[in-house]
Amino acid sequence: MIEAKQVSVIRDSKYILKSVDWSVKTGEHWAILGLNGSGKTTLLNMVNGYFFPSEGEMQVLGKTFGKYDLRELRKSIGWVSTALQEKLYGTESVEDIVLSGKFATIGLYEQPSQRDREIARNILERLDSVHLSNRTYQSLSQGEKQRVLIARGLMSSPRLLILDEPCTGLDIFAKEQLLSIIGKLSYEQDAPTMIYVTHRTEEILPTFTHTLLLRRGQVHSSGKTDSVLIKENLCDFFEAPVQCEKIKDRFVLQCIRPDLP
């Protein structure tokens, strides 16, 4: 699904990403964990074909960058990002927002078929959101908007679905509701491979069996989540004393203040 070999991105003579090796196989769901400025967004932009590697080789869905039209590649990738919310037209109906995902456009400029509308409503139903179909996007809560973005991302039946910090700005109840929906979606038959990006370990669901830790543009460690999210590795990753406890299959991280007993 994704194969990065010694990939670097250089801007203004500085490395934004440096010598990244990363491999995602079909059927795997991955979490990417990193603090602000770690290079997560740059890596996502490259997976989506918006950035070209300055060094190294990048393959996504079996297509090598430089040998394939990346505009075509993007049609097989669903991308859910809070930043996308600012670009959508708030007065459009939820159904039309979802339908625009088929055409990868901001706004609906092509006439969808009746079949397209049936597919959009089916996706919304799967995400417990069909009741929102006729609402305007701007009238939704933050949690509802994120569900609609996921529905939009699924409209083109993508092979790869990227969830870029989807819980940003959600209260604890909306967050858990959204995570529950993502978990159910991941276990559906023919579910796309999911990449979940976050800076909070407690959002990493059991379905994300693999985790990549990204720090200052470089891969700190990657592999099976249970092996990566352990105290010793996380202390080294954060360069600070932390405690990580697994509670009901979720990883709860706590910063340990050395000045307290």
**What does the pLDDT look like over 98-126, one tens digit per residue?**
998 887 777 777 788 899 999 999 999 99
Domain extent at residue 22 = 2-255
Q: Compare 163 and 48 and report the one with higher pLDDT.
A: 163
pLDDT tens digits along 166-195: 998 889 999 999 999 999 999 988 899 999
Q: Is pLDDT at 64 greater than 90 in this prediction?
A: no
Any domain includes 211: yes
Q: Is pLDDT at 216 greater than 60 in this prediction?
A: yes
Query: Which amino acid is it at 121?
Result: R
pLDDT tens digits along 38-47: 999 899 888 9
Residue 37: pLDDT band with limits 50, 70, 90: confident
Question: How much of the chain, in percent, has pLDDT values that exceed 90?
Answer: 59
pTM of the complete model: 0.90
Q: Compare 72 and 97 and report the one with higher pLDDT.
A: 97
Q: Is pLDDT at 17 greater than 90 in this prediction?
A: yes
Any domain includes 261: no
- CA gap 111, 99 in Å, rounded: 10
Give me the helix-helix angle, 142-154 and 114-126, nearest 10°. 130
Any domain includes 260: no
Beta bridge partners of 32: 197, 212
Per-residue pLDDT, 259: 57
Any domain includes 60: yes
Instruction: Please give the helix or strand (H or E) that residue 20 lies within, else none.
Output: strand 14-24
Q: Is pLDDT at 203 greater than 70 in this prediction?
A: yes
Q: Is pLDDT at 79 greater than 70 in this prediction?
A: yes
Q: Is pLDDT at 84 greater than 80 in this prediction?
A: no
Q: Domain count for the chain, please give it.
A: 1
Any domain includes 214: yes
Per-residue pLDDT, 258: 61
Residue 6: pLDDT band with limits 50, 70, 90: very high
Any domain includes 171: yes
Residue 227: pLDDT band with limits 50, 70, 90: very high
- CA gap 192, 256 in Å, rounded: 37
Residues composing the chain: 261
Q: Is pLDDT at 87 greater than 80 in this prediction?
A: no
Q: Is pLDDT at 160 greater than 90 in this prediction?
A: yes
Arithmetic mean of pLDDT, 196-219: 95
Any domain includes 20: yes
- CA gap 185, 180 in Å, rounded: 9
Per-residue pLDDT, 122: 93
- CA gap 155, 153 in Å, rounded: 6
- CA gap 256, 24 in Å, rounded: 33
Any domain includes 156: yes
Take residue 133 and report the two structure tokens written for it.
């179909």
Per-residue pLDDT, 113: 86
Q: For 92, phi and psi rounded to 5 degrees? A: -75, 155
Arithmetic mean of pLDDT, 7-36: 93
Q: For 21, phi and psi rounded to 5 degrees? A: -110, 125
Residue 155 burial (10 A CB sphere; 0-12, 13-18, 19+): buried
Reading phi first (left if > 0) and then psi (alpha if -120 to 50, else beta), residue 137 is in: alpha
Q: Is pLDDT at 198 greater than 90 in this prediction?
A: yes
CATH of the domain at 194: 3.40.50.300
